[in-house]
A and B are shown apart, each in its own frame.
Chain A
Amino acid sequence: MNPPRALLALSLIFACFSASVVHAGESLAARIDQLVEAAQASPVAALASDAEFLRRVTLDLHGLIPSSAEARAFIDDPSPHKREVLVDRLIASPRFAVHMAEVFDVMLMERRPDRSVKTPDWQKYLQTAFEKNVPFDQLTREILNADGVDPNLRPAARFFLDRDSEPHLMTRDIGRIFFGMDLQCAQCHDHPLVDHYLQTDYYGLFAFVNRSTLFPPLLPTTDLATTKFFVAEKADGDANYKSVFTQDEGRIRPQLPGENEIDEPRFRQGEDYIVAPLPNARSVPKYSRRAKLAELATNGANRQFNVNIANRLWALMMGRGLVHPVDLHHSLNPPSNPALLDLIANEFVAMKFDVRGFLRELALTRTYQRSIDPPTTDPAEQLATAATQIPTLEADYVARKAAADESRKSVDAAQTEFKTARVALSAAETAWRTAETAVGTAKKPLEDSQAAVAKSQDEATAKQTAIQAINEASAKSTEVAKLLPNDKEIAAAVATFTAKQQQLTGELAAVQKTIADLTAAQPPLQAKLTESYPPADAAYAAYLEARKPVDLAKTNLVAVWNRHKADAFASAVSKRRLENAQADESYLASLAAVAEKRVALATIQTELAAVVQAAEQQQAAVTSQASTMATLEAMAAETRKSFEEAKSQFDARQTVVQAVADAVSKTETALQSLPGDADLTQALGKLKERLEPLKKEATTLKQALAGRDAAVKEMSTRMTASQQAMAVATAEMANRQQAVLSKTNDVNQTQSAVREAESTVVSGRSQLVDLWTVGSGVRTYKQLTPEQIGWATLQATGVLEPQRAAADAEVEKTQSKASVASDIALAKAREMKLEQHLNEQMRGNVSPFVSLYASSAGQPQDDFFATPDQALFVANGGTVIGWAAGGQLAQRLTPLTDDNAFAEELYLSTLTRRPTPIEVQETAQFLAARATERPQAIRDLIWSLLTSVEFRFNH
């Protein structure tokens, strides 16, 4: 976590180790950081940890991860300068050259299969270039110029040869790879989607390469396996275009993106070749357009070339181009930080295209070293001002957009003017071309005659040689004839020789006469040819004269066009600023919305609590009412019971009174029949005497009953009142329950509104983090390239170590370590040889990763794909499982019984960091659970880490 301090001083210290340019002022690294940080109104991410930095920079500069030993050493190194020291060590290592060669191989060839130049040769060429730190301009010149003849530079011809030098393919790929412009759609018309790629941009580039072809030419009958191809170039061949939409057509001289058509030297027809194009000769023109392209692209003056490579190297280190994608530079896709792109492009040129020095500067920036963890706090100030800035930004964008639209109109006008001028030129051009053809026609008989003379001369020479030989043979045979005078066969031979001598002498004379005749006839032919020169010269002069207004119109068009592109660019930049501010504003708004919704939620939750309480109170009231009712009911029952008792007493007494009264009445009736009967009279008296008290008793009982009845009635009234109170209370309870339900519903709704608002905040935040990443304030994830996956897996599993030893042993056979021990240069050369050898040796191990993880050949190679067949390969294929089980990592882990030591070795080897306590515990548990199959458990632990996201990405 140590921020690099005293960068300048360090740059000076390490200047002797690298070719880096030390500026009089601040280092490039420091200036880059200033521009990045100035552009970030938001907080930037903290610097990555030492472990993460080590992994990142080793992957970027060496294409693999460090070993556990390297990781341990670096993490534990207390030096505050260790990051700088590491960067310098990495770029000085031969592995850097080997890795960069692969990076540039992929960039330049996009994994096209090799044809004329084999990948090992081509990579070796690039490896040597990076070992020697050949500047990128020179490398480009070698590649664009290569014809495959010079054995030392033959690999450089791969760029053309393995694309069959097909001019449209060359145009597309040179446009994309060297100028960052995918002009493909502009082949058939002005780019329909990218307004700023014109058909003339395409054909201007096409004109540089359409005269270059494969030699021998590629025919259906050509045997690709055995034919050695070269690049030939013709002296003629126009770049004609016609739009499939507008039918606009024209012819264009070579023109670099953003520049004007170039002026070219004129050679007379027949004098325009160093080697003329004959069926068996690779033609070489005196003036090569391809060489011109190499020269003009790389002289430091073409902005698009400089910007492209600076941006590509930036993307290589930072994980994302300032212009993204790296081959879509155009005004409507402006860089995330225009000033920064200018800075790095200009500085790269000022550093004389020094790739190693430039990468070093990038690696030393804080920007490179930022963590992937976004800052946890929100950029309060930036957010606060965003809303206030929007009106200004909006106005700015509207104005710039209007300006761009306006200048587009001038482009249309300039284009019309140019087209008119160009049409007017066609007569003069036709006249000149006709005159040139006339020169060719005039030259033809002379050339034929010269060819015939040359042929006859060859014939004459052959005959002279034959005559010479026969003369000698004849002399010898004459001598033999003298020795054997009677031998008829010898005599016949002498005669034959003599006859042949005469015949050949005659033929020679004839050939010599032909030569003389032909030669004699040549002056008039020469004269005719010479005669054809002045008209052609004059026609050319006239053409040049007539072209002046066209050139003027074109210059104007280019200027107007570039002005419009600048306007459009400014408009796009303004639009992006506005969009960023809008993102800030809507994020802020989403924060406010969440706060507001949370307040509303709190309020409504309080309200809910209140209604819940009210409901609870009512519940209590209902309960108490119910208990009152219960009491009343008990009392009523009691009262009714007393009433019933009284009634039954009264009724019983009443029955007795009635019976006695009946007896009185019956006795009185009997007395009337038996008047005066004493017994009866006595009985009657007794009865009457008894009846009175009984009646009194009954009356008393009746009175008591009436009292009881009144009590019952009163209870009934009280019950009714209580029931009414209960109904009221219950109704109120229902109301209050309803209120609770409805409030609960409100709360739920508000809660889900809060959640929704929170998720808007999360996505807004994630959008901001993306913007910070684009602005280089936060580090982006970078997928490991297929080669990096292969190499990192080999390294992690410890399969690489024995392979390196084997490669070393192989190198030792031709160059022993002892023999280079005393010579630093030799030792370094041996190191390089070892790396190259190892690289070739591992190609077969890495190739399955390339075929599974890479885009198709000829497609951009930086897209990310995660497919199930990759996962199946890793999960079930023999490769990764085999390496995990049988590599040296498994061997190192097997004897480690201490949980901490085991987990540390495992994590340092695979993820280049020490494990956390939780991870130590997790690892130990995994092993314990599978104690009976420890080897398999170790294999699977390694596998789990190799398949993790943390391993798959450079972070």
Chain B
Amino acid sequence: MARRQFLGAITAGTVAAGGSIAGGLSFLTQSAAASELAKQQKRVLVVNLHGGLSQLESWDPKPGTATGGPFRAIPTSVTGTHISELLPETAKQMHRLAIVRSVDTSEDDHGKGAYMMLTGRRQTPAGDFPRIGAVTAKALAPDDIGLPGHIQITAGGGGRTNDSAYLGPKYAGLIMGNGQPPQNSARPDAVTQQADEQRNAMRRAVNERFLNRRRTAMTDAYTYSYEQAQQLMGKREVFDVSKESEQDQARYGKHDFGRHCLLARRLLESGITFVQVSHSNYDTHNENFNFHLEQLGEFDSPFATLVADLGDRGMLDSTLVVVLSEFGRTPNINHIYGRDHWGKSWSVLLGGSRIKPGAVIGKTNANGTEVVDGKVDHANLFHTYLQAVGVDTSKSFDVDGRAIPIADPASHAIQELLA
């Protein structure tokens, strides 16, 4: 069905059969109306803190308790809301963000926890589910901006992710390994600009003749993929963070996470629907406090700068921001000053789009070992992310005749978090 929709999207206004498309891709040109639409277009930024961020050293501090650890809680830009002193810059942005302090996923395995947080479902042996990036790209990404809908900025590697399950490779994440542009997006030296134009003109001419025989949604999608590739090459600067001002590069910091946050801003501004940035490593079985001091020290400023910029540029109205991990960390501090895996009572940070600014949802008990109010899980969060950007999560994706619910039909969004 994806193809049908696709055909509908790209051939609207053109005659479906027998028509000619060579050179006639004018329907792809962005009109003023389209760029206006682009402003309304919903976007999602996920910051994935690998290994499991400690909620006690971040969004749900418990200073002065047996489980609280050595750090203080500091006031934030939201009266009455305190977060860990490790996040002084983020504290100033809390009026734009919201905290869910009552996450209970009851899952302490890295792989399974990450799967649940990114798909909104438990892993089943019999079937795979698409990750949030693929789902948002499928549901929200416009087909005509010449840029991919789903990008993951990772520490290394390239190619594309394998996380779109039944939605297919079209929605799989394009990987920007250490912020590098997508693979093969630059024309090789061996092919000159002119040669590239000539060979593509030849390709179109050959196609036009052949398609006079018969044109279908599949053939349209195929020829279109080359035009998309050309567009992407033309917009390759979008992926180049060095095009940002020196001043901005300095504000975000020159280390990887800072560069990646600035790149995320650039990508979102360019109309890319889903961007995921990662930060490692929070799996602090020993020396939890030293590691969090170090890691959050790196995280705090670029992240807060990004939130502030999105806010100042009016993009938070349409951009959902989520900071998540696969789970939290044990309130109990072990004998090597570490905290272990903990899925029973931890926190997730959200903001932007329909998320109520400054909200704090749910509560843990005094020493953080249990959720005492407003318990939610991965499935509730998944519904919430999607509803925050206007996706009706009661609907199903039609995958080649199979209707597959967008989110777990047995669950629902956290309504009190949505404006």
Task: List residues of A whose CB falls within 8 A of some B CB.
Answer: 164, 166, 168-169, 171-172, 182, 184, 187, 193, 244, 324-325, 328, 333, 372-374, 759, 762-763, 765-766, 769, 781, 783, 851-860, 863-873, 875-878, 881, 885, 918-919, 922, 926, 929-930, 933, 936, 940-941, 943-945, 947-950, 952-953
Q: How far is the CA of A171 from the CA of B224 in the complex (A)?
A: 39
- Chain A residues with CB under 8 A of B27: none
Q: Which B residues, 201 to 227, have Cβ-Cβ distances below 8 Å to chain A?
A: 202-203, 205-207, 209-211, 213-214, 216, 218-219, 221-226
A866 contact from B182, B221, B402, B410, Cβ within 8 A: B221
- Chain A residues with CB under 8 A of B202: 922, 926, 940-941, 944
B205 touches A855 (CB 8 A): no
- Chain A residues with CB under 8 A of B403: 193
A856 touches B218 (CB 8 A): no
B191 contact from A866, A918, A940, A947, Cβ within 8 A: A940
| Beyond A860-B400, A866-B225, 17 additional pairs, beta carbon < 8 A | A182-B402, A184-B127, A333-B401, A766-B16, A854-B169, A863-B168, A863-B400, A866-B218, A868-B229, A869-B148, A869-B174, A871-B228, A872-B184, A919-B206, A944-B202, A947-B203, A949-B210
A856 contact from B162, B190, B400, Cβ within 8 A: B162
Bitwise, B1-35 to A at CB < 8 A (1) or not (0) is 00100000000000111100000000000000000
- Chain B residues with CB under 8 A of A873: 183-184
| Closest partner residue, chain A, to B198 (CB atom) | A940
A875 contact from B15, B148, B229, Cβ within 8 A: B229
B125 touches A168 (CB 8 A): yes
- Chain B residues with CB under 8 A of A885: 190
Shortest C-beta distance, B381 to chain A (Å), equals: 21
What would 15 A/B residue contacts be, using CB atoms closer than 8 Å? A182-B402, A763-B17, A851-B159, A869-B229, A873-B184, A876-B184, A876-B186, A876-B191, A930-B198, A940-B195, A941-B202, A944-B200, A944-B203, A947-B203, A953-B219
B126 contacts chain A at the CB level, 8 A cutoff: yes
B226 touches A871 (CB 8 A): yes
Q: How far is the CA of A514 from the CA of B227 in the complex (A)?
A: 86
Shortest C-beta distance, A372 to chain B (Å), equals: 5
Bitwise, B62-100 to A at CB < 8 A (1) or not (0) is 000000000000000000000000000000000000000
Q: Which B residues, 149 to 196, have Cβ-Cβ distances below 8 Å to chain A?
A: 159-160, 162, 164-166, 168-170, 172, 174, 182-188, 190-191, 195-196
B15 touches A759 (CB 8 A): yes
B188 touches A172 (CB 8 A): no
Given contacts A328-B402, A759-B15, contact A875 B127 (CB under 8 A): no
Bitwise, B127-164 to A at CB < 8 A (1) or not (0) is 11000000000000000000010000000000110101
- Chain B residues with CB under 8 A of A867: 160, 169-170, 225
B210 touches A948 (CB 8 A): yes
- Chain B residues with CB under 8 A of A852: 169
- Chain A residues with CB under 8 A of B210: 948-950
Shortest C-beta distance, B221 to chain A (Å), equals: 4
Shortest C-beta distance, A194 to chain B (Å), equals: 9
Shortest C-beta distance, B150 to chain A (Å), equals: 11
B410 contact from A244, A856, A949, Cβ within 8 A: A244
A872 touches B169 (CB 8 A): no
- Chain B residues with CB under 8 A of A949: 207, 210-211, 219, 222-223
| Closest partner residue, chain B, to A853 (CB atom) | B169
B213 touches A372 (CB 8 A): yes
- Chain A residues with CB under 8 A of B183: 869, 872-873, 877
Q: How far is the CA of A926 from the CA of B216 in the complex (A)?
A: 28
B124 contacts chain A at the CB level, 8 A cutoff: yes
B255 contacts chain A at the CB level, 8 A cutoff: no
Q: How far is the CA of A950 from the CA of B211 in the complex (A)?
A: 8
Given contacts A763-B16, A867-B225, A952-B222, contact A856 B164 (CB under 8 A): yes
Shortest C-beta distance, B205 to chain A (Å), equals: 7
Q: How far is the CA of A868 from the CA of B183 in the complex (A)?
A: 11
B232 contacts chain A at the CB level, 8 A cutoff: yes
* A contact face: mostly helix, strand, loop, or mixed: helix
Of A169, A172, A864, A945, chain B has the most CB atoms within 10 Å of the CB of: A864
Shortest C-beta distance, B157 to chain A (Å), equals: 13
A865 touches B15 (CB 8 A): no
| Closest partner residue, chain A, to B203 (CB atom) | A944
Given contacts A766-B17, A871-B226, A950-B210, contact A858 B186 (CB under 8 A): no
| Closest partner residue, chain B, to A848 (CB atom) | B159
Q: How far is the CA of A171 from the CA of B213 in the complex (A)?
A: 43
Q: How far is the CA of A29 from the CA of B174 in the complex (A)?
A: 47
B160 touches A869 (CB 8 A): yes
CB-CB nearest 10 A-B residue pairs: A871-B229, A944-B202, A940-B199, A866-B225, A872-B184, A868-B228, A166-B125, A172-B126, A876-B184, A168-B126
- Chain A residues with CB under 8 A of B418: none
| Closest partner residue, chain B, to A923 (CB atom) | B202
- Chain A residues with CB under 8 A of B226: 871, 875, 947
B218 touches A783 (CB 8 A): yes
B184 touches A869 (CB 8 A): yes
- Chain B residues with CB under 8 A of A940: 191, 195, 198-199, 202
Q: How far is the CA of A187 from the CA of B120 in the complex (A)?
A: 19
A868 touches B148 (CB 8 A): yes
- Chain B residues with CB under 8 A of A870: 225
A328 touches B207 (CB 8 A): no
Of B188, B225, B403, chain A has the most CB atoms within 10 Å of the CB of: B225
B169 touches A855 (CB 8 A): yes
- Chain A residues with CB under 8 A of B400: 325, 860, 863
Q: How far is the CA of A7 from the CA of B98 in the complex (A)?
A: 75
B127 touches A765 (CB 8 A): no
B349 contacts chain A at the CB level, 8 A cutoff: no
- Chain B residues with CB under 8 A of A859: 128, 165-166, 168
Q: How far is the CA of A918 from the CA of B208 in the complex (A)?
A: 13
Q: How far is the CA of A182 from the CA of B166 in the complex (A)?
A: 13
B366 contacts chain A at the CB level, 8 A cutoff: no
B205 touches A864 (CB 8 A): no
B296 contacts chain A at the CB level, 8 A cutoff: no
A875 touches B3 (CB 8 A): no
B205 contact from A166, A766, A851, A922, Cβ within 8 A: A922
Q: How far is the CA of A348 from the CA of B118 in the complex (A)?
A: 45
| Closest partner residue, chain A, to B161 (CB atom) | A856
Shortest C-beta distance, B294 to chain A (Å), equals: 30
A926 touches B198 (CB 8 A): yes
B391 contacts chain A at the CB level, 8 A cutoff: no
- Chain B residues with CB under 8 A of A769: 17, 214
B127 touches A868 (CB 8 A): no
Q: How far is the CA of A855 from the CA of B163 in the complex (A)?
A: 11
Shortest C-beta distance, B390 to chain A (Å), equals: 25
Bitwise, B387-407 to A at CB < 8 A (1) or not (0) is 000000000000011110000
- Chain B residues with CB under 8 A of A918: 209
Given contacts A926-B202, A953-B218, contact A881 B225 (CB under 8 A): no
| Closest partner residue, chain B, to A373 (CB atom) | B213
Q: Which B residues, 48 to 69, have Cβ-Cβ distances below 8 Å to chain A?
A: none
Q: Which B residues, 314 to 354, have Cβ-Cβ distances below 8 Å to chain A?
A: none
Q: How far is the CA of A949 from the CA of B128 in the complex (A)?
A: 32
B293 contacts chain A at the CB level, 8 A cutoff: no
Q: How far is the CA of A483 from the CA of B66 in the complex (A)?
A: 82
Q: How far is the CA of A863 from the CA of B402 in the complex (A)?
A: 13
B308 contacts chain A at the CB level, 8 A cutoff: no
Shortest C-beta distance, A781 to chain B (Å), equals: 6
- Chain B residues with CB under 8 A of A244: 410
B233 contacts chain A at the CB level, 8 A cutoff: yes
Q: How far is the CA of A930 from the CA of B197 in the complex (A)?
A: 13
| Closest partner residue, chain A, to B228 (CB atom) | A868
| Closest partner residue, chain A, to B109 (CB atom) | A220
A781 touches B214 (CB 8 A): yes
| Closest partner residue, chain B, to A193 (CB atom) | B403
- Chain A residues with CB under 8 A of B166: 859
Shortest C-beta distance, B143 to chain A (Å), equals: 11
A864 touches B3 (CB 8 A): yes
Q: How far is the CA of A876 from the CA of B229 in the complex (A)?
A: 10
